[in-house]
Chains A and B, each alone.
Chain A
Amino acid sequence: MIYKIIKETDDITIFARIDDDGLCRLTCTAEHSEFQTHIKAGKELQDADGNVMTQEQANQFVASLA
């Protein structure tokens, strides 16, 4: 499973969770507890262009949204 940014505005950032079968069954904000747990656990986070963030970049990015 990975997460990818699908919408980024001044007001809100939306992430899509892409499951191992390639389907997106959940979209969320950075406040979603499952998302936070997964990012802290090292799940991959991609920016809106599909670039993979490092673990440190991902943690910093999520923290900046809080």
Chain B
Amino acid sequence: MPPVTIDGSLGITTPMYNGSITANAVTPSVNMKNRIINGAMVIDQRNAGSAVTTDGAYPVDRFIVFEDTDGAYSAQRDTNAPAGFINSLKWTTTTADTSIASQYAGISQSIEGFNVADLNWGTANAKTVTLSFWVRSSLTGTFGGSFRNSANNRSYPFTYTISVADTWEFETITIAGDTSGTWLTDNGAGLKIFFGLGVGSSFSGTAGAWSGSNFLSATGAVSVIGTLNATWYVTGVQLEVGSTATSFDVRSYGTELQLAQRYYYRFTASANTYIGTGITYTVSNALLIFPFPVPMRASPSALEQTGTASNYRVLSQGGSLYTGTAVPTFDGANITAGTVGMTSLNNFVQGQSCLGNLTNASYLGWSAEL
């Protein structure tokens, strides 16, 4: 009887009474090979593809814009993408600023400490990592960015080159992990990656070396904010352990959405929708509990809504639907649920159970971003 054999291409072959069976070789699943969440720019709970223009806005989930210059920008999820992707994050400079000595503009993702704890940064065993991404721009030249810790007192500026305008190019950056500094390994910001789109000299440093400064980019990098109507796209952002960029870690949409919802959760009503249960505790006030789909990184400290009180209603005694006379307000939250105050002028019967009702396209949003 032949022995059991294990072959790299055929898989496992085992003897049977009258033959053998062969199992296909399987590439083992690697959980969270890519430490970046929403690297393919698919998830956009806040805007559903609409543009953002303000400092601190999130054009797609988990990627924040820092725009501290006197220029202006527009950023959004876009369908221009290289083969294998359906979305990218697009930046357009709408007001140029060429004098940015102590200012900066760029896009960043902070990675939670739990998700990079195994990198051992800040120790002698710090692991090498590789950042890879697809990028295109109307500008060419040497662009920059950086890796930073949460305290902004360790940074590593990097560069990459865009050779041809308006053409997708694949970039890889490999860096030796930092053996110094403090790198959080809890639910704080373990590692911050910044793509510079215009960084002044005060925040620029020598590429390819760790520094004790708060550098956001490399000295001399192209300033996208410096050119009116300049565009910059990015997608397929991946950060992985090792010195080689491997194929993009495709995760299911559901998985990626849940990963993103740990940091931001928005419920948007597609039609008149009942969500949230509670009690009318006065004749004009109700408190409703809204469970989160996944435990959040930390207790949210704010509630977002449309700003229009009539978008929000309460179903209470007798089946009556009471329209809000003030917008829903934050009343508390933990990592698993938020409490929302809703108001309807002197219409409730105190002590009744109730349901929340959101009209079409209205929303409630909670943030626990880093």
B-binding residues in A (CB < 8 A): 6-7, 12, 14, 16, 19, 23-29, 31-35, 37
Contact = CB atoms under 8 A, between A and B. Distances in A.
B302 A34 contact: yes
A19 B301 CA distance: 18
Contact of A28 (B303, B306, B327, B341): B303
Given A14-B330, A14-B331, A24 B301 contact: no
Interface of B: 56, 301-308, 327-332, 341
When A and B form their complex, which 7 residue pairs have the shortest distance between CB atoms, in order from nearest?
A23-B307, A28-B302, A25-B307, A32-B301, A27-B330, A27-B329, A31-B301
A24 B341 CA distance: 14
Nearest to A12: B332
A7 B329 contact: yes
A34 B56 contact: yes
A25 B330 contact: no
A9 to B, nearest CB: 10
A6 B329 contact: yes
Contacts of A27: 302-303, 327-330
A19 B307 contact: yes
B302 A29 contact: yes
Contacts of B329: 6-7, 14, 16, 27
Nearest to B340: A27
A37 B66 CA distance: 13
Nearest to A36: B301
A34 B303 CA distance: 12
26 contacts: A6-B329, A7-B329, A7-B331, A7-B341, A12-B332, A14-B329, A14-B330, A14-B331, A23-B307, A23-B308, A24-B307, A25-B305, A25-B327, A26-B303, A26-B305, A27-B327, A27-B329, A27-B330, A28-B301, A28-B303, A29-B301, A31-B301, A32-B302, A33-B301, A35-B302, A37-B56
Given A7-B331, A12-B331, A34-B56, 17 more contacts: A6-B329, A12-B332, A14-B329, A14-B331, A23-B308, A24-B307, A25-B305, A26-B303, A26-B305, A27-B302, A27-B327, A27-B328, A28-B330, A29-B302, A31-B301, A33-B301, A35-B302
A34 B54 CA distance: 13
A33 B368 CA distance: 10
B301 A25 contact: no
